[in-house]
């Protein structure tokens, strides 16, 4: 049951709902077409992007909170519920299984899981692994990718849990593969390929 709750919470299409409410348009037909906070930020506005990011974080955090507090699941099921929320975000049943990349709910789940299971310092390290590369490259995808790559090492060092480490590896692979598949066209173009590595996360000038 907790897995279903995680999936359906994760599948709430935050970017689609916010964009449709504010503009009447489909975020999948705007910008890069991704249903995430960054595309919403760039195509709709700062407030809309921030709302989507918070909603996506909340989906992951709420999913694991329900499994932990209400359903009183053990650690493995709580972690799997967070993983299910990421799957729901990436492949939502409401939009023909075409969703985002899963970063929001993944980090939302970690905001809950790491402190609850005795690894609050690892949450701080994870945050630094996002913000330092982001400050240097201004590329959210690259910064979060570095953090996700580091996550299995942090989990193993902090908990020595084979199960949690395995899920961390699967999370990195799932989000990484989804990113590559969603950006196949950009990866073929040298100019766009460079933008994926050193991206400009500021909103484009709509008047230029």
pLDDT digits (tens, 9 = 90+) for 156-207: 999 899 999 999 999 999 999 988 887 776 666 655 555 455 455 555 555 5
| Candidate from 8-17, 43-52, 137-146 with smallest mean pLDDT | 137-146
Q: Is the pLDDT of residue 141 over 70?
A: yes
Residues composing the chain: 208
pLDDT digits (tens, 9 = 90+) for 74-126: 999 999 999 999 999 999 999 988 888 899 999 999 999 999 998 999 999 99
In this prediction, residues 146-158 reach a mean pLDDT of 93
Other CB atoms within a 10 A radius of the CB of residue 52 amount to 28
Within 13 Å of residue 161, how many CA atoms lie on the same side as its CB? 20
> How far lies 131's CA from each of 119, 146, 150, 178, in Å?
19, 10, 14, 22
Q: Is the pTM of this model over 0.75?
A: yes
pLDDT digits (tens, 9 = 90+) for 23-49: 999 998 888 788 888 889 989 999 999
pLDDT at 181: 82
Tell the burial category of 8 from Cβ atoms under 10 Å away from its Cβ (0-12, 13-18, 19+): middle
Q: Is the pLDDT of residue 138 over 90?
A: no
Q: Name the region of 135 (left: φ>0; alpha: ψ -120 to 50; beta: rest).
A: alpha
Other CB atoms within a 10 A radius of the CB of residue 89 amount to 32
In this prediction, residues 35-64 reach a mean pLDDT of 93
């Amino acid at each position: 049951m907790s897995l279903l709750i995680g999936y359906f919470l994760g599948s709430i299409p935050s970017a689609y709902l916010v964009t449709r409410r504010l503009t009447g348009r489909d975020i999948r037909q705007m910008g890069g077409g991704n249903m995430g906070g960054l595309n919403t930020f760039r195509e709709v506005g700062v407030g809309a992007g921030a709302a989507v990011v918070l909603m996506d974080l909340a989906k992951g955090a709420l999913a694991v909170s329900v499994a932990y507090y209400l359903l009183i699941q053990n650690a493995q099921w709580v972690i799997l519920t967070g993983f299910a929320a990421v799957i729901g975000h990436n492949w939502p049943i409401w939009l023909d299984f075409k969703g985002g990349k899963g970063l929001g709910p993944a980090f939302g789940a970690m905001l809950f899981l790491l402190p609850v299971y005795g690894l609050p310092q690892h949450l701080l390290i994870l945050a630094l692994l996002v913000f330092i590369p982001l400050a240097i490259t201004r590329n959210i995808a690259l910064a979060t990718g570095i953090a996700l790559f580091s996550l299995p090492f942090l989990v193993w060092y902090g908990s020595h849990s084979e199960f949690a480490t395995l899920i961390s590896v699967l999370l990195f692979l799932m989000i990484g593969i989804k990113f590559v598949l969603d950006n196949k066209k950009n990866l073929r173009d040298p100019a766009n390929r460079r933008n994926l590595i050193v991206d400009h996360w500021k909103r484009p000038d709509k008047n230029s």
